A and B are shown apart, each in its own frame.
Chain A
Amino acid sequence: MALAGAAVKEGRGRTALVLALACLAAAAWLVPYAWMVLTSFKTLPEIVADPTAPLPKHFDTGAYHEVFATIPVGRYMAVTTVMAVAIAAAQILLALPAGYALAKLRFVGHRFAFGIVVACLLVPAQATFVPVFLFFAHVRLVDTMTALVLPFAASALGTFLVRQALLGVPDEIIEAARMDGASEWTIVYRVLAPLLKPTLVSLFLVSFVFHYNDYFWPLVMTTGDSVRTLPLGVALLREQGTGVRWHIVMAGNVVLSLPVLALFAVAQQHLVRAVRARS
């Protein structure tokens, strides 16, 4: 990474200060996580007696047992993963031809279509959920995977980014493929897609993470247990109505966050790049 800020030599005192501040920053973000993990290993009597004790007396996994006994973690995780993968995959599959059409093809209504895509960038799911929920209720699709996946199958952002990326691709490649007799679909998926691989990977990851974490849409679209997602399941741990259960809630939190943090650790570059690509 090229760095611009430290172009000038700085004194040792300054470096020490920067180091101290950096550690402070790290602490501000790490301490809450650490506290979450520590709490998850405590027991109820410990939390009642002394909630802010730094370390648990023994590392008790009772809270985790309780979490796995209370909610079907495996099933929820599977549902959530399937849903997130389906959405991310559908978005890529649809964004490619759509972005291609907007970038490279000329047709009537081309500007209008692009206008729609840009307009939809501004409409959040929170503004549309009431009529969409009623629609799914009307066709009896509430509480199904369709209600969770279909509304997001087309991504305005994905289409926009693919279009931007394709604008940079020289037309000669497309012309050459056409002359070789390739159909438009082949051009999109066989010729252009590999060129866009970094963009597509980033898009997939960002979409996957966003929808894996999504709480609002599954909350609104599901009533029963059949396609409940993990964030919903973990949030339900809080709504218990008797008393102190923080160790259980934190254990659930750890279970919820670990997969995403693991993915982050592995795919950090792609996620960061995807976030930057939007600017």
Chain B
Amino acid sequence: MLGPTIALLVGFFVVPIGVAAYESLFSWDLLTPPRYVGGANYAALAAHGQLLNIALRTLGYSVLVVAGTMTLGLALALLLDRPGRLYAFVRACVFSAYVVSWVAVALLWMWLLDGNGGIVGRLLHVLGAPPIAILGDPRWALPALAVVGVWKLTGYAMIIFLAGLQAVPRSLLEAAALDGAGAWNRFRHVTMPLLAPTAAFVATTSLVTSFQAFDVVRIMTQGGPARSTELFVYAIYEQIFLDLSVGRASALTVVFFVMLLAVAGLQLRAWRLRGQP
């Protein structure tokens, strides 16, 4: 009954983490025999602050995306929580971005943000901004990727918030209205506290998803310019496929996994504490 599932899960999800930890102690390029180097991979990654930078960038990107999707998702949920075909259509539009492939979204936004012919650039120019190639500027490339992430994931947040909103008992809202509370106060004192668990859930899952971002980096910026968009998973990918350094890739994997656990754990703990009524 349970056998195949457990075997597959253990084999493909649990064991590889252990193996990665083991292989992070070697230097191996797949073509010649591996050499034991102990902690040298970790040391090399920590040198020049490379590992720290990757971690900070990934965290920064994730925080931006989570903040964006939650704010926008909640706002859209509140805005579009109405009957009628029009609102249903708008909801579908927003959610559709969540359903298409990251490849499609990344290629599309690459074109929109293109320094030479992208309409975003033209729009910014019309609004008076200096002409810069967004994806070619180390200061703006990562925020741009975060915007793309928000565009894709907001639909997900919106759907979850909609479900949460619908779980708010109408009687409570009506009672508050009868007590004279305006729309904003009703939202703050009735809806928001009840939405806290939903918000926690959205935040955690969005955070974990953004932490694993790869496709958008690989397609749009390949880690550049000047490493400003080198996120964890892309760095692992580069180490093994472009630099052929299995040991470094494994070391990065181990650090990535530990951080992922920490982030998910902390986030959940923090919200659980806050969410207590």
Contacts and interface: CB of A to CB of B under 8 A. Distances in A.
Contacts, number: 258
A249 B122 contact: no
Interface string A198-213: 0000000000010011
B105 to A, nearest CB: 9
Interface string A124-157: 1011111111110000000000000011011010
A79 interface: no
B1 A184 contact: yes
Contacts of A97: 1-2, 5
A128 B233 CA distance: 11
Most chain-B CB neighbours within 10 Å: which of A4, A116, A234?
A4
Contact of B83 (A1, A26, A120, A134): A1
A115 to B, nearest CB: 11
B267 to A, nearest CB: 12
Interface in B88-121: 89-90, 92-104, 107-112, 114, 116-119
Interface in A23-48: 23, 25-26, 28-30, 32-33, 35-36, 39, 47
A133 B1 CA distance: 28
A124 B99 contact: no
B16 A128 contact: yes
Number of chain A interface residues as a range? 35 or more
B12 interface: yes
Contacts of B164: 279
A132 B101 CA distance: 23
A51 B116 contact: yes
Contacts of A30: 93
Contacts of B13: 120, 123, 128, 156
Interface string A237-276: 0100000101001101100110011001100100110011
B260 A124 contact: yes
Given A4-B166, A6-B82, A130-B250, A209 B99 contact: yes
Contact of B183 (A1, A8, A253): A8
A22 interface: yes
Number of chain B interface residues as a range? 35 or more
B236 A130 contact: yes
B10 to A, nearest CB: 7
Contacts of A226: none
Contact of A235 (B6, B107, B117, B160): B107
A51 B113 CA distance: 12
Nearest to A231: B103
16 contacts: A2-B166, A22-B90, A26-B94, A30-B93, A35-B111, A51-B116, A116-B6, A117-B6, A124-B212, A126-B233, A209-B99, A215-B219, A216-B215, A249-B111, A261-B100, A279-B201
